[in-house]
């Protein structure tokens, strides 16, 4: 779905009565969320067990329950609050896919104890990290760095990978498998992107073989986020593997204009979350301002940070905290003061995190308001349960 089509399709997102809605506001379109979940499951051969979506996108217990209802039982997350909400939502297998230590690790272990029916796992990339989980019911995935350069064991250091995995087994902790997030691969040319991704997966299979040669069974391999989803689906090495191979795109639940540019339009994902914003200034010809600054629509992916649905000739400019200036092209029709704009974010994940509540929309009507229940983090002061 190219941006030009987005700009000509406001009727699909119009909400009939917004006179009582304070802006900026997050609107989530339930039918489109369901469509995007179903589309992803279909891509995975109608096997929801192959999907371990990242909940940093979904954020709402309401949407988490939609995933559970469609058979998605394994997820990953980045904070202890997301871990807690995931366990409450009914997922059976939750990976805290972020390195934790100190009080954060103690809290994760406490949540795991509180939900004995949920399999809770964490990532490690060193012997020191393994030690803190001894005696807990936490499982462990080795975090393998495919070249992103943030966390993880270097993918070419087989000796260190084996040493850490062996130490996990010797410590009596359940070794779950490997986590390999290649989010740095997002070349515009799909052929180049696929070649890079497949080279990484070749190396990943070598690591699996190395571990198995040392008597270490690899139960699951988690690989890939949204940009490499087509690459994962086309990789022959994962077909018929002895291990479970799960993909972890999360952005696709809501979709965003970044994803619009990296996934084939033929897949058919639909925008499922927009920010509603009112025009608050029209005093300067060729420019207007609306009330959705970077505290509403994330700007981490650059400017413009969104697309204005249904308006040709409107280009969002650099936002400040509460203002979003928008240029109006010569000859273009400009919205009036007080008019509602539907902003389709470039990066939906941090944008959802900007809101404490979300409007749930179906067939042009607001059918409810839901808490963004995994927004932010748990309180900084924590008292262990006795």
Examine the domain organization and report whether 149 and 240 are in the same domain.
yes
259: in domain: no
Q: For helices 158-170 and 190-213, give the axis angle rounded to 10 degrees.
A: 50
CB atoms within 10 A of CB 356: 11
Residue 247 has pLDDT above 60, yes or no: yes
Residue 3 has pLDDT above 70, yes or no: no
Tell me the torsion sign for CA atoms 64, 79, 168, 226. Answer: positive
83: in domain: yes
Range of the domain at 312: 3-27+266-371
Examine the domain organization and report whether 72 and 200 are in the same domain.
yes
Examine the domain organization and report whether 7 and 150 are in the same domain.
no
> Which ranges of the chain does DSSP label H, i.e. alpha helix?
3-6, 30-43, 55-58, 61-69, 80-89, 103-114, 127-131, 158-170, 190-213, 229-234, 257-262, 348-352
CA distance 4 to 72: 33
Do residues 59 and 372 lie in contact, with contact meaning Cβ atoms separated by under 8 Å? yes
46: in domain: no
Query: What is the CATH classification number for the domain harbouring 213?
Result: 3.20.20.10
Examine the domain organization and report whether 229 and 177 are in the same domain.
yes
Give the DSSP H/E element, type plus range, for residue 145: strand 139-145
- How confident is the model over 204-231, as pLDDT tens digits? 999 999 999 999 999 999 998 899 999 9
Tell me the torsion sign for CA atoms 195, 200, 203, 204. Answer: negative
378: in domain: no
Examine the domain organization and report whether 274 and 351 are in the same domain.
yes
Phi, psi of 88 (to 5 degrees): -65, -30
Domain count, the chain: 2
Residue 7 has pLDDT above 90, yes or no: no
42: in domain: no
Q: Which of 217, 248, 279 delimits the end of a domain?
A: 248
pLDDT average, residue stretch 245-251: 96
CA distances from 193 to 54, 57, 206, 228, 263 (A): 21, 23, 20, 7, 11
Asked whether the bond before 329 is cis by omega within 30 degrees of 0, the reply is no
Do residues 143 and 177 lie in contact, with contact meaning Cβ atoms separated by under 8 Å? no
Name the token pair of 223: 């690989």
Examine the domain organization and report whether 75 and 18 are in the same domain.
no
**Cα atoms found within 13 Å of the Cα of residue 158, Cβ hemisphere only:** 12
Examine the domain organization and report whether 65 and 152 are in the same domain.
yes
Examine the domain organization and report whether 135 and 62 are in the same domain.
yes
- The strand pair at 93-96 and 139-145 is best described as unpaired
Examine the domain organization and report whether 166 and 240 are in the same domain.
yes
257: in domain: no
CA distance 21 to 25: 8
Which pLDDT belongs to residue 225? 87
Q: Which of 248, 279, 299 delimits the end of a domain?
A: 248
Residue 106 has pLDDT above 50, yes or no: yes
Examine the domain organization and report whether 237 and 295 are in the same domain.
no
The residue count of the chain comes to 386
- How confident is the model over 36-84, as pLDDT tens digits? 999 999 999 999 999 999 999 999 999 999 999 999 999 999 999 999 9
Examine the domain organization and report whether 192 and 331 are in the same domain.
no
Examine the domain organization and report whether 10 and 155 are in the same domain.
no
Name the token pair of 17: 């009565």
Give residue 11's pLDDT band: very low, low, confident or very high (50, 70, 90): low
Which residues, in sequence order, are CB contacts of 285 under 8 Å at separation 6+? none
- How confident is the model over 64-75, as pLDDT tens digits? 999 999 999 999
Phi/psi zone of residue 363: left (φ > 0), alpha (ψ -120 to 50 degrees), beta? left
In the chain, the percentage of residues whose pLDDT exceeds 70 is 97
Which pLDDT belongs to residue 8? 43
- How confident is the model over 146-165, as pLDDT tens digits? 999 999 999 999 999 999 99
332: in domain: yes
Which pLDDT belongs to residue 386? 54
Query: What is the CATH classification number for the domain harbouring 272?
Result: 2.40.37.20
164: in domain: yes
Which pLDDT belongs to residue 383? 87
Which pLDDT belongs to residue 124? 97
Residue 138 has pLDDT above 50, yes or no: yes
Residue 277 has pLDDT above 50, yes or no: yes
Name the token pair of 153: 């064991």
Name the token pair of 229: 């989803």
């Amino acid at each position: 779905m190219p941006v030009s089509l987005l700009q000509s399709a406001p009727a699909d997102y119009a909400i009939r009565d917004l006179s009582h809605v304070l802006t900026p506001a997050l609107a989530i379109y339930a039918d489109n969320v369901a469509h995007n979940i179903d589309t992803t499951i279909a891509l995975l051969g109608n096997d929801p067990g192959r999907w371990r979506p990242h909940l940093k996108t979904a954020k709402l217990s309401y949407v988490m329950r939609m995933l559970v209802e469609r058979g998605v039982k394994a997820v990953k997350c980045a904070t202890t609050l997301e871990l807690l909400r995931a366990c409450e939502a009914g997922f059976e297998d939750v990976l805290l896919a972020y390195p934790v230590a100190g009080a954060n690790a103690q809290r994760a272990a406490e949540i795991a104890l509180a939900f004995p029916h949920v399999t809770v796992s964490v990532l490690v990339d060193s012997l020191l990290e393994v030690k803190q989980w001894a005696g807990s019911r936490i499982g462990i995935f080795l975090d393998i760095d495919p070249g992103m350069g943030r966390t993880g064991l270097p993918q070419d250091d087989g000796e260190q990978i084996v040493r850490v995995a062996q130490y996990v087994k010797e410590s009596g902790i359940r070794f779950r498998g490997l986590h390999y997030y290649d989010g740095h691969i997002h070349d515009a040319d799909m052929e180049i992107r696929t070649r890079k991704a497949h080279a990484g997966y070749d190396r990943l299979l070598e690591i699996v073989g190395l571990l198995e040669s040392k008597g270490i069974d690899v139960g699951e391999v988690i690989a890939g986020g949204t940009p490499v989803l087509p690459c994962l689906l086309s990789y022959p090495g994962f077909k018929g593997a002895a291990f479970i191979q799960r993909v972890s795109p999360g952005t696709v639940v809501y979709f965003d204009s970044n994803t619009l540019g990296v996934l084939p339009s033929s897949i058919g994902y639909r925008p499922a979350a927009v920010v509603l914003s009112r025009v608050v200034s029209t005093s300067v010809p060729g420019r207007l301002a609306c009330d959705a600054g970077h505290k509403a629509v994330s700007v981490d992916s650059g400017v413009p940070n969104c697309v204005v649905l249904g308006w040709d000739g409107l280009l969002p400019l650099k936002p400040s905290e509460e203002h979003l200036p928008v240029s109006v092209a010569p000859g273009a029709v400009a919205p009036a003061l007080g008019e509602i704009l539907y902003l389709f974010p470039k990066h939906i994940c941090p944008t959802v995190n900007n809101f404490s509540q979300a409007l749930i929309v179906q067939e042009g009507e607001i059918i409810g308001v839901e808490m963004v229940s995994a927004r932010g983090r748990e309180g900084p002061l924590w008292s262990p349960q006795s």
